[in-house]
Structure 1
C-alpha cells in the first residue's frame, strides 16, 4: 500500500470515526472552513501531556468556562490557576501554561502566532505542542508526533529499534506521511487511531483501516511494537508529612516555585530520602515544637520514584503557614490530599 493510499484510508476512517472532544472541530466542519481555536487546541494539548482524555476533559471545560480566552488566563492570579490545575499533576505544566499565556497576551496582542516556528519561540511551549497547534489550528503541514503516533509508526513499519532510541526514526517515518492536504485532520487521525484502535495492549487490528499495510500486523505480534528498552527499577524514597491542626483548620505551606509540586500548597514535609525516618528524626524535623503523634502513612508513585510518607499530627500554632479549613483541602495536589485525608480520618 502506497503512502497516498494509507493517507486516503486513514482520513476516510477519521471522517467517519473521529472522537467527539470538547476542544475539537469535527472533520466535516473543518473541511467546510471552520478552524479550531488555537487557545483551545493549545490548552488541551498541555492538559493531555501525561493525562488521559477522560481525566483532562472536565478540567478543560472548567478552565475555558472560567478563562474563555488566552488573555483571560494570562490575567489570572497564579494561585487561582494552580488551584484549578490541582489533580492534573505535573505542575510544571501549569507554570508553563501561565508563562505562555502571558507572553501571548503581552507580546502578541492576545493572538497566538500562526506558524510552528513562531509558536516554538513562546516560553513553556515545546516542539510537540507547537507542531500540534500549528497543524490543528492553522493547517500548517507540521509533523505532530506523540506517543500514540510513535506506536502507530512502530507497528506500521515494524521498527525493531527500541524506544527511546527509536524516536528519531519514528519521527522521520511519520514525517514522510505529512502532506499539505488536511494536515490538522491527518495529525488528529493518527492520534485517534493510536488511542482507539492501535492501542498499547490488545490492538483492534480487525477494525484498523490500514491493517493491510501494517508490517507489525504481518508479524503476528503487533502488540510487541514499539520495542522497549528494559526499564530501570524505580527508586523508593521516604519522607514525613506534618499535619498541624488548630480547631477546624490545617496548616499548609507554599512549596518552592521550582521543583516537584513547585508553587503548590501542601502539608509541611521533611526531605524525601532513600532511608526511612526514625521516630526521633521525624519529630526533630517538624516545623514547630508540638506533641506530634503518629497518624499512619501513605504511599504515592511519581513518574521517577515512589514515596512512603509517614504522617505525624499535632494540635498547635505556627507562624508563616496558611491556615486552611479542613473542608477546603480539595484543591491540594493528590499526594497531600491523600495524606491529609488519611491523617485527619479519625477527626472528620
Structure 2
C-alpha cells in the first residue's frame, strides 16, 4: 500500500509527527473502523477519523435527522431533517476525504446482524445510547476477538474506555448489568459541547491504538466533567476469561433502604458518601457527604474511625464504579445504596 502526492499533501502535518510518520499514516490508511451511532458522539468521531485518513469506515444508524439533534450532532444541518443519519453522514464525509471508503448501514445492530457487521472491520467504535446495544457490541467483540472503543455522555459528564484489547477488561467487567431505569439524554438533557469533547477523545484513542503510540485507555476508564473541566482515570480490573465468569464474579453489597434506616436509627457508625454531581445532590439527597465520583480518591483514604462506608447514587452505576475503585484501598466495610430504591 502506498500514498499518492495528494494524500501526502493532505496529511503532511500529521506525517510530520515522529510518532506517526509515513508508516503510521499507512497504518491509518489500511485500517477499517465500524462506527456504531451517527449521533452526538459519532459525528465528531467520524469527522476526525475521516480527516485523519482512515481507509475504510462503516457508519451504522437506523435513525433520521431530527431538529432536536442539531445542537450537538454537528454533521447535520436543517436541510437534512428527515433524512437517514448514516447515509447523510457518508455523503458529507466523502466530500471531506474522497480517498476514504465509506459505507452507510441504515439499520440497528441486533442479534441477527451483529456478527456479520462487526467481523468486516478491524476496530469497533461504540457511540450507541442504550445498554442493550452496548452489551450486544461487547459480546460480539468478545466472540470475534476485536477491540472496541466505548463512550457515553450524561448531562455534563462523559466516560471513555477501550474494551477487549489484548486480554484487557470488557464492558461487562465494568457494568455487569444495566439498571432497569437508566436515564437517557432525551429525558435528562446533555450539554451540546460534551459529545464533541468525548467523541474527539474517542477518535484520538483510535488513532493511537492503530499507530501504536501513547498510552491508551485499555484497562482504564476516563471520566470527564464539563462543569469544572476535571477528569479522572480509574484503573479497571482485568476481565475474566469468559463473559459468564465476569458476571458471576461480581458481588456488590447493595444495601436495602430499610436496613440503612435501621442503622441510622440505631446510631451505627456510618459514613454516607453521595458520589453524584453537586447539582444532583442539591436537587435531592438523603444526607451524607457529597464527593462526586471524579473527585473520589485521596479524601476517602484519610477516613478513619467509621466502621461502615456507604456509597450512594441514583441507580447504582456510579456507586459500583466507586466500589471497585475503593474496595482494595480501605479497610472499612463498604455498602452501596441506590436512591431509586427509596419510596
TM-score, normalised to structure 1's length? 0.26
- Asked which structure has the greater RCO (Cα within 8 Å, sep 6+), the reply is 1
More helix by share: 1
Tell which structure's C-alpha radius of gyration is larger. 1
